[in-house]
Structure 1
């Protein structure tokens, strides 16, 4: 990843960044880096001038990193809205998918949204609760858009995972109302 230095600087300075991933389902993600590792970058996600959960992305998928808050107006708004003050470190290890997902199991009751590579004709986005993680696979109990649990657990190879989001209002709402 050629933008590693820029991301390390953004991590230290709490800079708002946009990470681009060409040719993937969610091609851009905005937030403040809270971890920059060899395999993963984790952002405290920003939407509408507020932080809402985290997104972990594979470093190898990042095609460009751009600082957003070098524009005076954005810096002013983000400061006034106390976005920088709200940034929180994860509090668990995230060297790779396995350690990140184990942290999500422990801290977020396993609730996550997982995006993976594959055939665009099939679903590549899964929402639900992680059940198990090992060195090669994750097992997840999925929920559909209507809040119904699907009977069969999903087993995904970790090397196909491209993005995991967790700790956001969207997932908290599903967790609260899914039976």
Structure 2
């Protein structure tokens, strides 16, 4: 995969990248690659010139990878704001969904946002605490947008997962106020 080579180079050089996933509902994400594996790519996300958490996407879903910080203004801001200096990997193995989720459970108390492929008429975005993961499924205790815990745990096949976000301010707020 040509994109994988580009992303590995971007990870070494801490380049800001945009990943396009043309066939999915949420088609693009921006950030600095911090893990590039056969199954997954993990970005430290950048929004409004702030690094905020991580997102992991399936390598096979990436249709294009494009460098963002080759624009002089963006490179100037990223350097002046010391964003390149702040880039760091999440600190656990990210080779597969199972390993990534085990790391999230250990380091972030399981808090994650999970996106899946499936029927667009149904919710494909789930927020909450991952309780269990094995080689085929994840079990998650979900919270709704109003901070209410849903009674039934959600069991998702790992093969349906397209993206997992973790370690960001949005999830920190839910973790802090959803008891």
Fold shared, TM-score > 0.5 on shorter chain: yes
> Scaled by the length of structure 1, what TM-score is found?
0.99
Partner of 2:138: 138
Q: Which residue pairs with 2:49 in the alignment? A: 49
Q: Distance in 2 between matches of 1:90 and 1:167?
A: 9
**Which ranges in structure 2 are unaligned for 5 or more consecutive residues?**
none
Deviates more, 1:36-45 or 1:23-32: 23-32
Greater CA drift, 56-65 or 84-93: 84-93
Counterpart mapping for 1:81-96 below 5 A: 81-96=81-96
Distance 2:6 2:143 in 1: 37
Q: Which residue of 2 aligns with 1:162?
A: 162
Partners in 2 of 1:31 and 1:49 — Cα distance? Answer: 10
Q: Quick one: distance in 1 between partners of 2:121 and 2:74?
A: 38
Deviation at 1:4, TM superposition (A): 1.0
Shift of 1:5: 1.0
Matched pairs, number: 179
Matches of 1:84 and 1:25, distance apart in 2: 29
Query: What is the TM-score of this pair, normalised by structure 2?
Result: 0.99
Matches within 5 A, 1:22-171: 22-171=22-171
In 2, the alpha carbon distance for the partners of 1:141 and 1:24 equals: 24
Aligned CA RMSD, in angstroms, stands at: 0.6
Q: Which runs of 4+ in 1 moved over 4 A?
A: none
